[in-house]
């Protein structure tokens, strides 16, 4: 068996003696016999580190790592600079607890404060929290945050990622909130329907930019409809796109949320990722989760602390703005190091490369018989095409060539994605494979 | 120390991206960003040094003793991190075809199987990203169960007054009303009080066992049957599972739903506040309400099973904090059935050893000289005698390079310090900590002003928290 208990059996025995006991069993004599386990746990015996390492590698080898990826749909493969991986592998950052003891946690606190600043910069909003679990829970928390005494209905565009919509549904079921779905027209939120759906019970409108199909929503149009009302405008956005696309604040958004995974965090079969949330000064005290603030210490030195804790569960218990306690701190640090490494110009470049490659991909795909753009709207780095032939067979052929093709939305439509990692040669090679397949 | 925004110089940066090898496409004017984007402009040298400087202002488990009660800050084995970094786990897209992710599905399947056995549950789901998220998910299962039976009056969750703050917060978030029940003078659930509050509106009861003062609820079977007889379900908060692995199981104590904190009991690192993982386990009769998709194994092939009509639905993107589960599985496979029990035994031994050696100096209000994996000290007397608070005591420990115990929790103990040494500490570390605790106690009586002024050897002294909250500065000037 492997163990991380450092004390030897002999030391353990001495410690038992010191407290007046003879055996480990006696430590548990307060536990009634009826609930004690008879015999060992029904799991395998332990192993040495080497054996575990070999076993886990064997399991990892059962997964296929694709050399080319043209699939996004909520998880994006971008280039991760070496410095990012190095910094977030530092043992102090990995093994520290939530920074309640500010005097020995300035490192974590400052990194979160810098992260909050970067999220404010990206979104154009005034206040950011220290992170939530992921993009879907960020959207759900934003919806809950928007609730007013007389406004309890969320309107969510059908062009939002279905996983996000489902998560919001789970969060508000059984509470006093409910939600309606705003229909889409040509892949975009239908503004006419939205206007008809607004009423005095509406708490918020949530859209995704770029939306699930990769299209750019008329954020200004929606902002115009909502401006002057008490209805909160919530936008879920892809942080990489904000290198070139309008910031949520430029649309008049009240709460900006999103999935921070594209900012230097690996695909990791879906997690851990990073939910970010940013809002206006006015809504600051409704934000869920940890927030770091700057202050001074007893000698007037700059200091950082967890602040506005009167919102949180350990103080307010059932009256807290959310139950969130652990968040995704190390992922937030990852995003912060990524943003520091790429800087403004680098982020712009990643966004521009992703967008340009996606447009080149779209153009080349449409050369193939049976492949057409499904929607005409402007897109960022994802788009939907028809596929002239059997979608599963097509994607299967790509897989044989080490390519993870677009995501099959149904048996006719594919949602494609490109990032800076997809080279022209790679795209051209895939097009040739597809052409052969269709013919 | 300077912020990263205060370092560097315009036009400094890294050369990370290649030239564009396809025609450049620009965003049309209506969608184009006009707003300034002020990100740091620093070189790689500056980034490297900046974060190295920040590590010096950070205290991890690798830096020293971390007896933070209720948080189980055990050593985080490095093999777990190494395995989580394998490209076969870290570079897999969540929406790849099932036959290309058999290894990932096997990780979830094995973790489900082993953790179910460890807790005495029938199923385990890994979507919840942290303990509180697990509580929320577990409570939703309870809600779905009552609704499914058309038992719609059950809107109350009962919580002991010693519970973690997340318990009532999660219950409220899941749409329940919270009923607090007092503890007895001995620190246990008051079964008479419990009997009085249960009824036709009881949806469930949340408890951690050992409880938050480090004692095993001896009347646990009576407690869980009071709830069951009233028609409610029992929820186990796994925060304190580290005391009883291989010794007793929540499933055998009458609990119907549990959540675990893989970042506590199963050694995955806390990352300065996350990511954690808060899997939810349940008995068979609740399985149909679990979040979807579920992972099933037939003829050695793993697949996602998508829709259960009665599922509460998703609680997050994709399937969970996967790489955290990879780490926890690596840990469970390393320790195995004997190792997990050995870990719990030593966690309890270390706590008892510390408590035994401190009990003549400090007031330990509960437990009659024995505890499970943690114990609670009350500094009420010291506060009265010398105006030295639990906070002062904790801040003084910082100067001795010990991470302080959890302060002011549970709420039922005045001037509380909750000590959880964990099993991964040596006898020398415990002996040294005992010495330091006593030394600080002496100092408190002799020179109390020194404790009020502590810490003095850290990068900052005590921060002004009132100023931070009154005049919030939540971002840097850029």
Contact criterion met (CB < 8 Å) for A271 and B129: yes
* Interface membership of B353 toward A (CB under 8 Å): yes
Residues in chain A closer than 8 A to B82 (CB atoms): 53
Chain A residue closest to B253 (CA)? A35
* A285 lies in the same domain as A348: no
pLDDT of residue A295: 98
pLDDT of residue A319: 84
- Mean pLDDT across B72-100: 98
CA–CA dist A196, A179 (Å, integer):
15
In this prediction, residue A255 has a pLDDT band, given cuts at 50, 70 and 90, of very high
In this prediction, residue A230 has a pLDDT band, given cuts at 50, 70 and 90, of very high
* A107 lies in the same domain as A219: yes
Last-in-domain residue among A337, A370, A393: A337
**Residue A219 in domain:** yes
* A204 lies in the same domain as A232: yes
Considering the domain B79-335 in this protein, what is its CATH number?
A: 3.40.640.10
In sequence order, the 6+-apart residues with CB closer than 8 A to the CB of A392 are: A408, A411
* A413 lies in the same domain as A277: no
List, for residues A167-208, the tens digit of each pLDDT value.
999 999 999 999 999 999 999 999 999 999 999 999 999 999
Last-in-domain residue among A302, A337, A372: A337
Model confidence at A353: pLDDT above 90: yes
Model confidence at A314: pLDDT above 90: no
* A328 lies in the same domain as A304: yes
- Chain-centre distance for alpha carbon B432: 27
- Mean pLDDT across B454-475: 96
Last-in-domain residue among A274, A307, A337: A337
pLDDT of residue A315: 80
Top residue of B2, B8, B21, B22 to mutate, by most chain A CBs within 10 Å, is B22
Residues in chain A closer than 8 A to B349 (CB atoms): 12, 15-16, 24, 27
Residues in chain A closer than 8 A to B473 (CB atoms): 293-295
CA–CA dist A42, A40 (Å, integer):
6
In this prediction, residue A310 has a pLDDT band, given cuts at 50, 70 and 90, of confident
Residues 139-178 of B with CB under 8 A from A: 140, 143, 147, 164-166, 168-175, 178
**Residue A143 in domain:** yes
CA–CA dist B282, B250 (Å, integer):
10
In this prediction, residue B478 has a pLDDT band, given cuts at 50, 70 and 90, of confident
- Mean pLDDT across B326-333: 98
Q: What is the ipTM of this complex?
A: 0.98
- Mean pLDDT across A300-307: 97
CA distances from residue B428 to A3, A12, A322, B350, B425 in whole angstroms, order as listed? 18, 12, 41, 11, 8
pLDDT of residue B450: 97
Residues in chain A closer than 8 A to B250 (CB atoms): none
In this prediction, residue B11 has a pLDDT band, given cuts at 50, 70 and 90, of confident
* A405 lies in the same domain as A310: no
* pTM: predicted TM-score of the whole model, two decimal places: 0.98
Percent of chain A with pLDDT over 70: 100
Structural domain count of chain A: 2
Contact criterion met (CB < 8 Å) for B458 and A407: no
* A72 lies in the same domain as A108: no
Containing structural domain, residue A99: 82-337
* Interface membership of B29 toward A (CB under 8 Å): no
- Chain-centre distance for alpha carbon B1: 30
Top residue of A261, A272, A277, A408 to mutate, by most chain B CBs within 10 Å, is A272
CA distance B385 to chain A (A): 25
CA–CA dist A428, A74 (Å, integer):
25
CB burial class (10 A; 0-12, 13-18, 19+) of residue B21?
Answer: middle
pLDDT of residue A321: 82
- Mean pLDDT across B356-377: 95
Residues in chain A closer than 8 A to B218 (CB atoms): 30-32
Residues in chain B closer than 8 A to A424 (CB atoms): 21-22
Residues in chain A closer than 8 A to B251 (CB atoms): none
CA–CA dist B182, B199 (Å, integer):
17
Chain A residue closest to B312 (CA)? A170
CA distances from residue B177 to A318, B48, B157, B201, B305 in whole angstroms, order as listed? 8, 49, 6, 10, 33
CA distance A196 to chain B (A): 25
* A351 lies in the same domain as A327: no
Residues in chain B closer than 8 A to A42 (CB atoms): 117, 337
- Mean pLDDT across A343-349: 97
Contact criterion met (CB < 8 Å) for B478 and A92: no
> Residue A433 sits in a domain of what CATH number?
3.90.1150.10
Residues in chain A closer than 8 A to B340 (CB atoms): 41, 43
**Residue A168 in domain:** yes
Top residue of A114, A221, A340 to mutate, by most chain B CBs within 10 Å, is A340
Q: Give the start-to-end residue ranges of the domains of chain B.
A: 79-335, 339-452
* A251 lies in the same domain as A316: yes
pLDDT of residue B474: 96
pLDDT of residue B411: 87
pLDDT of residue A326: 87
**Residue A371 in domain:** yes
CA distance B91 to chain A (A): 5
* A388 lies in the same domain as A327: no
* Interface membership of B217 toward A (CB under 8 Å): no
**Residue A2 in domain:** no
- Mean pLDDT across A101-118: 98
**Residue A282 in domain:** yes
Contact criterion met (CB < 8 Å) for A93 and B271: yes
Answer for the pair A307, A291: CB distance below 8 angstroms, yes or no.
yes
Contact criterion met (CB < 8 Å) for B77 and A246: no
pLDDT of residue A128: 98
Residues 282-301 of B with CB under 8 A from A: 291
Pairing, β A153-157 against β A232-237 = unpaired
In this prediction, residue A272 has a pLDDT band, given cuts at 50, 70 and 90, of very high
| Alpha helix positions (H), A324-421 | 329-365, 391-400
State the average pLDDT for chain A. 96
CA–CA dist A423, A418 (Å, integer):
9
pLDDT of residue B306: 80
Top residue of A2, A46, A95, A346 to mutate, by most chain B CBs within 10 Å, is A95
Domain B339-452 has CATH 3.90.1150.10: yes
Answer for the pair B33, A121: CB distance below 8 angstroms, yes or no.
no
- Mean pLDDT across B170-177: 94
The closest CB to that of A244, out of B32, B215, B317, belongs to B32
State the average pLDDT for chain B. 96
**Residue A13 in domain:** no
* A246 lies in the same domain as A316: yes
SS3 A183: coil
* A263 lies in the same domain as A143: yes
Instruction: Give, in degrees to the nearest 5, the angle at Cα B228 between B224 and B231.
Output: 150
The tokens of A110 are what? 């400052």
Model confidence at A220: pLDDT above 90: yes
- Of A92-101, B53-62, B406-415, B421-430, least confident by mean pLDDT is B406-415
Top residue of B1, B21, B26, B31 to mutate, by most chain A CBs within 10 Å, is B31
In this prediction, residue B58 has a pLDDT band, given cuts at 50, 70 and 90, of very high
């Amino acid at each position: 068996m492997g163990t991380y208990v450092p004390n030897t059996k002999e030391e353990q025995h001495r410690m038992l003696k010191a407290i007046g006991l003879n055996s480990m069993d006696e430590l548990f004599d307060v536990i009634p016999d009826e609930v004690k386990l008879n015999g060992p746990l029904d799991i395998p015996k332990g192993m040495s580190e080497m054996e575990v390492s070999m076993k886990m590698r064997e399991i990892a080898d059962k997964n296929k790592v694709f050399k080319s990826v043209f699939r996004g749909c909520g998880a994006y493969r971008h280039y991760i600079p070496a410095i990012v991986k190095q910094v977030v592998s530092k043992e102090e950052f990995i093994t520290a607890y939530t920074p309640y003891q500010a005097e020995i946690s300035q490192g974590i606190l400052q990194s979160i404060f810098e992260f909050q600043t970067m999220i404010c910069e990206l979104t154009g909003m005034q206040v950011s929290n220290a992170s939530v679990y992921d993009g879907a829970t960020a959207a759900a928390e934003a919806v809950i945050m928007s609730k007013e005494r007389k406004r309890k209905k969320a309107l969510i565009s059908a062009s939002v990622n279905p996983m996000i919509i489902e998560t919001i549904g789970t969060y508000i079921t059984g509470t006093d909130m409910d939600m309606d779905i705003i229909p889409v027209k040509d892949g975009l939120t239908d503004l006419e329907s939205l206007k008809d759906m607004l009423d005095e019970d509406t708490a918020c409108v949530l859209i995704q930019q770029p939306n699930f199909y990769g299209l750019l929503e008329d954020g200004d149009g929606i902002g115009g409809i909502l401006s002057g009302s008490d209805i909160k405008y919530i936008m879920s956005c892809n942080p990489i796109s904000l290198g070139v696309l309008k910031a949520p604040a430029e649309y008049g958004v009240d709460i900006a949320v999103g999935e921070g995974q594209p900012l230097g965090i690996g695909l990791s079969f879906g997690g851990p990722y990073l939910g970010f949330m940013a809002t206006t000064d006015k809504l600051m005290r409704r934000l869920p989760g940890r927030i770091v603030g700057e202050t001074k210490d007893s000698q007037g030195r700059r200091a950082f602390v967890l602040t506005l804790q009167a919102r949180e569960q350990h103080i307010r218990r059932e009256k807290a703005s959310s139950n969130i306690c652990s968040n995704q701190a190390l992922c937030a640090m990852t995003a912060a190091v990524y943003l520091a490494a790429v800087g403004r110009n680098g982020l712009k470049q990643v966004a521009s490369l992703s967008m340009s490659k996606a447009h080149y991909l779209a153009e080349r795909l449409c050369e193939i018989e049976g492949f057409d753009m499904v929607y005409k709207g402007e897109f960022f780095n994802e788009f939907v095409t028809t596929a002239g032939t059997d979608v599963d067979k097509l994607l299967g052929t790509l897989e044989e060539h080490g390519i993870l093709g677009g995501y099959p939305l149904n048996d006719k439509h594919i949602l494609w994605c490109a990032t800076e990692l997809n080279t022209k040669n790679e795209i051209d090679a895939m097009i040739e494979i597809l052409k052969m397949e269709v013919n | 120390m300077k912020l990263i925004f205060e370092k560097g110089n315009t036009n400094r940066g890294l050369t990370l991206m290649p030239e564009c090898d396809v025609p450049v496409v620009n965003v049309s004017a209506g969608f184009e960003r006009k707003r300034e984007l002020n990100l740091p402009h620093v070189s790689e040298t500056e980034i490297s040094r900046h974060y190295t400087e920040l590590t010096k202002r950070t205290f991890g488990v690798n830096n020293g003793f971390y007896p933070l009660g209720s948080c189980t800050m055990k050593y985080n084995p490095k093999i777990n991190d190494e395995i989580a970094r394998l490209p076969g786990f870290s570079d897999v897209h969540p929406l790849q075809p099932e036959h290309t992710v058999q290894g990932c599905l096997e990780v979830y399947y094995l973790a489900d199987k082993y953790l179910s056995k460890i807790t005495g549950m029938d199923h385990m789901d890994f979507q919840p990203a942290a303990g509180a998220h697990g509580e929320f998910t577990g409570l939703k299962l309870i809600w779905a169960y009552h609704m499914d039976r058309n038992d719609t009056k059950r809107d109350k969750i009962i919580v002991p007054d010693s519970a973690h703050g997340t318990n009532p917060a999660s219950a409220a978030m899941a749409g329940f009303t919270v009923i607090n029940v007092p503890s007895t003078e001995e620190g246990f659930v008051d079964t008479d009080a419990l009997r009085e509050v249960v009824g036709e509106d009881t949806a469930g009861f949340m408890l951690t066992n050992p409880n938050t003062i480090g004692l095993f609820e001896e009347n646990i079977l009576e407690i869980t049957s009071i709830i069951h007889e009233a028609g409610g379900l029992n929820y186990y908060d796994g925060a304190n599972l580290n005391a009883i692995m291989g010794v007793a199981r929540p499933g055998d104590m009458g609990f119907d739903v549990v959540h675990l904190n893989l970042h506590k009991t199963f050694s995955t690192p806390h990352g300065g506040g996350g990511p954690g993982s808060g899997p939810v386990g349940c008995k068979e009769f609740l399985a149909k309400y679990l979040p979807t998709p579920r992972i099933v194994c037939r003829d050695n092939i793993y697949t996602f099973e998508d829709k259960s009509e009665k599922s509460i639905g998703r609680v997050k993107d994709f399937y969970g904090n996967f790489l955290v589960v990879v780490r926890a599985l690596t840990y469970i496979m390393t320790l195995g059935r004997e190792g997990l029990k050995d870990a719990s035994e030593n966690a309890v031994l270390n706590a008892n050893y510390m408590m035994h050696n401190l009990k003549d100096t400090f007031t330990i209000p509960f437990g009659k000289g024995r505890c499970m994996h943690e114990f609670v000290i009350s500094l009420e007397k010291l506060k009265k005698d010398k105006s030295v608070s639990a906070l002062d005591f904790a801040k003084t420990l910082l100067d001795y390079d010990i991470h302080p115990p959890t302060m002011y929790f549970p709420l039922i103990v005045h001037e509380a310090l909750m000590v959880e040494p964990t099993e991964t500490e040596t006898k020398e570390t415990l002996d040294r900590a005992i010495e330091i605790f006593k030394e600080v106690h002496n100092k408190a009586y002799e020179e109390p002003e020194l404790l009020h002024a502590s810490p003095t050897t850290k990068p900052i002294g005590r921060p002004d928290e009132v100023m931070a909250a009154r005049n919030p500065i939540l971002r840097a000037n850029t």
